[in-house]
Amino acid sequence: MAYHLSYHPDVKKEDLPNIPRNVQDRIRKAIEERLLTDPDKYGEPLKRGLYGYRKLRVGDYRIIYKVEKKNILIFKIGHRKEVYRGGQLRIER
């Protein structure tokens, strides 16, 4: 099953510039090899304020995304200690 990938505008402006280059490469590889092949298998569902979204773990970093039919929206990428708070604030905007 082929999925279409899109990013929240703030991911490329705010999230990726704050992540080390080697981690960005690992994240890109995880998206290509896991997220685009089977997002429901590799990601875990989130709860509370991020209900309906899923997370993909890449070391200490998390990718928060939502799957709607064959579309994957990457909503937030960040370090595990701040990504959930930032993701919830991004939803509320």
Q: pLDDT tens for residues 28-61?
A: 999 999 999 999 899 999 998 899 999 999 999 9
Can you give the pTM of this predicted structure? 0.90
Query: CA 79, CA 93: separation in Å to the nearest integer?
Result: 21
Q: Total domain count for the chain?
A: 1
* Domain range enclosing 39: 4-92
For 70, residues 6+ apart whose C-beta sits below 8 A from its C-beta are: 1, 2, 3, 4
- Please, which residues bridge with residue 5 across strands? 72
- Please, which residues bridge with residue 79 across strands? 61
CATH code for the domain of 29: 3.30.2310.20
For 57, residues 6+ apart whose C-beta sits below 8 A from its C-beta are: 44, 80
- pLDDT tens, residue by residue, 63-83: 999 999 999 999 999 999 999
